[in-house]
Amino acid sequence: MSDALLACRDCGQLHRATNAVVPGHRLACSRCGRGLSRFPPVGLDTPLALATTALILFLLVNLYPIFLVSLEGRSGQDLLISGPLRLAEYGGPFAGLAMLVAGLSFVVPAVWLCLVVIVTALLLYPWSMLDVYLLGAYVAYTRLSDAVDTNVAAGGYALGALVLVQALLMITLGVRRVWDMIADPRHFAPQPGEPWVMCGACQLVVAAPAAGGTGGLPACPRCATPLEPRQPASLSATLALTTAALILYLPANLLAMMTVERFGRVNSYTILSGVNELAQLGMWPLALLVFFASVVVPMLKLASLGWFLYAIRRRSARWLRERTVLYRLIDSVGRWSNIDVFMVSILAASLQFGFLTTVDPEAGIVSFAAVVVLTMLATAIFDPRLMWDAARGDLR
Ligand SMILES: [Zn+2]
Ligand SMILES: [Zn+2]
C-alpha cells in the first residue's frame, strides 16, 4: 500500500502522509498551516445518532414557537417560518429577502440534515445557518424583552439544542473520512513525479492522465465533479462579486434597516444605530459582537479580497502565508454577518401590535443581506492557490 496523498486546497502543496488515518490525529499543511485531515476518534455510529437527534430537534424547532410575546393583554408568537412569511407580505425586494431568510434558516438546514444521513451534502454546510440564526434570535430577544413581555418557548429551546447537536455532528463525522470510505484514495494516487490534480469537491488527488472522462473536462473518478487544476474564472468572478458588494455597501450602511413604531412615535435604525442602541441598553458584549459581525467582518472581507486580487496582479510573493491565513479567516467568519438579517426577520414577525408597537423592515436590510451573500460567494469562488501560483510566476 502506498502512502495517502493529500493536496492543500489553500496553497496547492502536495503532501505524502503516512499516518493520515490514525484516529484523533490532525494533519496540517507545512507551508500555509491549513488543516489537511482529521480522523475523528469515534466510529460512524456517533454521527449517525447525532443526525437522527438533529432531525427530531429540527422538527420541534419548526412546529413550536421560538418566542411568546405579549403586550397589553394581546399576545403573539414567533415560529421559525413566520419571519419570512411576514417579510414576503411587504412585496418587492422584501420578497427576495424573505426567500433568503427562509432558505438559510429552513430550506438549506432541512436539505442538509436529510442529506447528511446519506452523506453527500457536506459542501452545503457553510450555507446552513441555524447557529447564526440562533444568535440573531438572541439579539431579537433582548430587543423584544425591552418592548414587550417575552418568553422563550419550546421551539427556542429546541433551536439551542439543535445548534449544539449540529456542531457535534460536524466534529464527529469527519468529511474526509466519509469520502475515503466511499472510495480509498490510494487506488487513484499518482506515481511519484507524475502530474496530478486535486478534485475541488472531494479533494481526491488523482494522476492527471488517469482522470480521462468522456468528452469535455475529465471528471473525478470518486465524485464525478469536473477536474480543474484551479477554480475556473476565479479572478474575474471574484472581482465582479466584490465590486458589486462594494457598490451595495453604501446603501447597506446609510439606509435604515428597520423602523420601529411605538405609540405613533417612529424610530429608524441603520446597522450602526442598531449596534448603538444595544450598547445604550447596557448589552455591551452583544453590541460588540453585532458590531464585529455586521460592520468589521464585511469591511475586512472587502478589503482582504481587494488586497488578494491586487497582490495576484502584481505577482507579489510578500505576506503569502499571512494572506492565506487571512483568507481562511474571512471564509469561516463571513456567515456570521447574517445576524442582523435574521434579527429583523424575527422582530418584523413578532412585533405586529398595530399602534402599540410595530416593526417594519426597510431597504437597508435588503442591501445589507445582498452584501453578505455577495462577499460569501466571492470568498467561496476565490481560489487562494492562485496567490501561490502568481508568486511563483506560473499563473496562466
Ligand atoms: Zn497549504
Ligand atoms: Zn471528487
* Radius of gyration, CA atoms only, the chain: 23
| Ligand nearest to the backbone CA of 120 | 2
Give distance in angstroms: CA of 388 to centre of ligand 1: 9
Give distance in angstroms: CA of 224 to centre of ligand 2: 6
Give distance in angstroms: CA of 205 to centre of ligand 2: 9
| Ligand nearest to the backbone CA of 188 | 2
Residue type, 346: I
pLDDT at 23: 65
Give distance in angstroms: CA of 127 to centre of ligand 1: 24
Give distance in angstroms: CA of 158 to centre of ligand 1: 39
pLDDT at 139: 87
pLDDT at 1: 44
pLDDT at 214: 47
Give distance in angstroms: CA of 208 to centre of ligand 1: 20
∠114-116-48 over CA atoms, to 5°? 105
The reported pTM is 0.80
pLDDT at 193: 81
Give distance in angstroms: CA of 112 to centre of ligand 1: 28
pLDDT at 178: 77
| Ligand nearest to the backbone CA of 388 | 1
Q: Parallel, antiparallel, or unpaired for β 265-269 and 258-262?
A: antiparallel
Q: What are the start-end ranges of the E strands in 145-215?
A: 149-152, 196-198, 205-207
Give the helix, strand, coil percentages of the chain, each rounded to 5: 60, 15, 30
Cα→Cα distances 91→74, 78, 269, 271, 385, Å = 27, 20, 20, 22, 42
Give distance in angstroms: CA of 245 to centre of ligand 2: 31
Give distance in angstroms: CA of 81 to centre of ligand 1: 41
**Residue 124 CB coordination number (10 Å):** 14
| Ligand nearest to the backbone CA of 185 | 2
| Ligand nearest to the backbone CA of 180 | 2
Task: Give CB contacts under 8 A, 24+ apart, made by 176-183.
Answer: 176/37, 176/38, 176/39, 176/203, 177/39, 177/40, 178/119, 178/122, 179/203, 179/204, 179/222, 179/223, 180/21, 181/44, 182/119, 182/222, 182/223, 183/221, 183/222
Give distance in angstroms: CA of 285 to centre of ligand 2: 42
pLDDT, one tens digit for every residue, the chain (396 residues): 456 788 888 998 888 876 655 666 778 888 898 988 776 766 666 777 787 788 888 888 888 888 888 887 788 778 888 888 888 989 888 988 998 888 888 888 887 777 766 564 555 666 778 888 888 888 888 888 887 888 888 888 888 888 888 888 777 877 777 788 778 888 888 888 888 889 888 888 888 764 444 445 678 888 777 888 888 899 999 999 999 999 999 999 999 999 998 888 899 999 999 999 889 888 888 899 999 999 999 999 999 999 999 999 999 999 999 999 999 999 989 889 999 999 999 888 888 877 778 889 999 999 999 999 999 999 999 999 999 999 988 776
Give distance in angstroms: CA of 317 to centre of ligand 1: 15
Give distance in angstroms: CA of 216 to centre of ligand 2: 16
| Ligand nearest to the backbone CA of 30 | 1
**Residue 64 CB coordination number (10 Å):** 17
pLDDT at 293: 92
Give distance in angstroms: CA of 204 to centre of ligand 2: 6
Which residues sit with Cβ closer than 5 angstroms to ligand 1, an ion? Answer: 8, 10-11, 13, 29, 31-32, 34
Give distance in angstroms: CA of 172 to centre of ligand 1: 24
Give distance in angstroms: CA of 386 to centre of ligand 2: 20
For the chain, how many residues are written? 396
| Ligand nearest to the backbone CA of 199 | 2
Q: How far apart are alpha carbons 262 and 355 in whole angstroms? A: 7
